[in-house]
A and B are shown apart, each in its own frame.
Chain A
Amino acid sequence: MAETLIADQHAHDAAHAHQFDDVEQQRDAATMGMWVFLATEVLFFGGLFASYIIYRTLYPAAFAVASQTQDIVLGTTNTAVLIISSFAVAVAVYGAQTGRRRTTIWALALAIALGVVFLVIKFYEYYQKYVDHHVPGPSFEFPAPYTEPAKMYFTLYFLMTGLHAIHMIVGCGLLAVMIIMARRGDFTREYHSPIENSGLYWHFVDIIWIFLYPLFYLIGRHLE
């Protein structure tokens, strides 16, 4: 009798793994695991942010002048693009929570499209840096007396936006997998941790950019 009851419970709740008391505990465990991962990501980027803080403290004038060479229109556009894509991902998670599969799929597709727009703009900016000889290396050029510290600014620029861009590419891949899973009908009102956690990743990458934008594009504008 007891065995039948247990078997019944499991049959009713396919999303509920054995080791958890209930679906809510299972969901909280998945969410917390993702937040711990994001904490390690904060420190991953944190080393670069610490480097930025040190060199910007040592060479404030050079960083201001170097930041003025950035294209403010492209940078601001990219910030808006990324924020809108985060909104799209939030809507996709909402769709999964409420069983609106079409909403989820279209919102995810929009987020990926915006992510690609961001990357295209970013790589165009990289190309522009190449044309302007602002890529640190043998052909690097920047007016004296800021040549060397400006090289540090652009090194940090490429490292930080590059690491961010890699995260964007990974994020687009994650969201693409979420579209496949959503189309397959893997998500229910009870079980949607994969899409929730992919969303957390995407929003985290958005937050990184929210800080990169003022640090690389805006710090020297008032001195122009």
Chain B
Amino acid sequence: MPERIVTVNVYAKILAVLLILTATTCAVSYIDMGRMNLVVMVLIACAKASLVALIFMHLRYSRHLMSIVAVGALFWLGILVALTLGDYLTRGWQ
């Protein structure tokens, strides 16, 4: 697959978005939204991570094979977390 070269202009825009998201997550963390605080900050972190992976790490411009490996990593992480929590969260049933 021919290499697609991303311009510095695009990187600079992504940098700006990432810094804005960082400021946002920091500011929002002081507002009491109960359980939603954790949800919002993890969602913002996921958005930031996706931007880094897609643009800075070129996933968007690479072969789909690279994305499959990346998603595979998250899938295995999901198994790790789900099965471990499945154990810990169900210990009090007796």
Residues of chain A touching chain B, judged by Cβ–Cβ distance below 8 Å, are 24, 27-28, 31-32, 35-36, 38-39, 42-43, 46-47, 49-50, 53-54, 57-58, 72, 76, 79-80, 83-84, 86-87, 89-91, 94, 97-98, 196, 199-200, 203-204, 206-207, 210-211, 213-214, 218-219, 221-224
Most chain B CB within a 10 A radius of its CB, from A91, A206, A221: A221
Q: How distant is the Cα of A90 from the Cα of B8 in the complex, in angstroms?
A: 8
CB distance from B89 to the nearest CB of A (A): 7
Most chain A CB within a 10 A radius of its CB, from B2, B12, B29, B62: B29
Contact between chains at A84 and B15 (CB < 8 Å): yes
Contact between chains at B45 and A211 (CB < 8 Å): yes
Main secondary structure of the interface of B (DSSP, over half): helix
Residues of B contacting A36 with CB < 8 Å? 69
B45-76 contact mask (Cβ, 8 Å, vs A): 1 or 0? 10011001101111000110110011011101
CB within 8 Å: A-B pair count: 142
Q: How distant is the Cα of A54 from the Cα of B42 in the complex, in angstroms?
A: 16
CB distance from B91 to the nearest CB of A (A): 10
Our pick among B38, B52, B62 for the contact of A206 (Cβ within 8 Å) is B52
Residues of B contacting A223 with CB < 8 Å? 32
Q: How distant is the Cα of A49 from the Cα of B81 in the complex, in angstroms?
A: 8
User: Does any Cβ of A come within 8 Å of B88's Cβ?
Assistant: yes
Q: How distant is the Cα of A210 from the Cα of B1 in the complex, in angstroms?
A: 30
Q: How distant is the Cα of A221 from the Cα of B29 in the complex, in angstroms?
A: 6
Contact between chains at A80 and B3 (CB < 8 Å): no
Residues of A contacting B48 with CB < 8 Å? 83, 207, 210
Contact between chains at A210 and B85 (CB < 8 Å): no
CB distance from A137 to the nearest CB of B (A): 26
Q: Which residue of B lies closest to A36 (CB)?
A: B69
Contact between chains at A200 and B57 (CB < 8 Å): yes
Contact between chains at A57 and B85 (CB < 8 Å): yes
CB distance from B25 to the nearest CB of A (A): 6
- Other than the given A86-B56, A214-B42, 10 more pairs (CB < 8 A) read A31-B63, A53-B81, A80-B22, A196-B58, A210-B48, A211-B49, A213-B25, A214-B41, A214-B45, A224-B30
Our pick among A72, A83, A98, A210 for the contact of B26 (Cβ within 8 Å) is A72
Our pick among B6, B8, B33, B63 for the contact of A28 (Cβ within 8 Å) is B63
